[in-house]
Amino acid sequence: NNAGIMACPFKLSKDNIELQFATNHIGHFLLTNLLLDTMKKTTRESKKEGRIVNVASEAHRFAYPEGIRFDKINDQSSYNNWRAYGQSKLANVLHANQLTKHLKVHLLLLYSGVIYMPYGLVVHNWCVFTIVQYNLLCLTLIKKRMSLGRCSFHCLISFL
């Protein structure tokens, strides 16, 4: 599971859920839950443990001080784009924790570091880097997208 929107202005999804939470968490949650019965069946038949890989982020630490604001997910008046991003990533971590408690699957939370993505970066509020600084940092210190793919693939096939 991985998604790719970060710190964007407030917007609702087609399902009327704040867009970052919908994209970065609800989509993962839904896909994972739709596949669970098949995963359990395959695990029983093959006698091999199932595996779920979630690409996570240290950004879960950016969440609102109270954590996930379930009662205010769609509250535009108190929306902070970076806190909302952190909230979506925190939801991924908490979901992964619950899956490991209740299922016999191997769940890997992959913290990939920062990956350079050459799309336009939406920067609002308290972003640490300007776009120029971000691109310079990416060129010198940050991993390339291919390394994320390698990490994810390794997590999927190792220990088979």
| E-state strands within 22-104 | 50-56
Residue 137: C-alpha distances to residues 84, 113, 126, 147 (Å): 24, 13, 18, 17
Round to the nearest angstrom and report the end-to-end CA distance of the chain.
19
Residue of 64, 79, 111, 116 with catalytic role: 79
Name 78's Cβ contacts closer than 8 Å, sequence gap at least 6.
72
The Cα 70–Cα 74 span in angstroms is 9
Residue 79 designated active-site:
yes
> What are 130's two structure tokens?
């300007």
Name 102's Cβ contacts closer than 8 Å, sequence gap at least 6.
none
> What are 94's two structure tokens?
């908490």
> Minimal CA–CA distance to 55: which of 100, 109, 95, 94?
109
Active site (catalytic) residues = 79
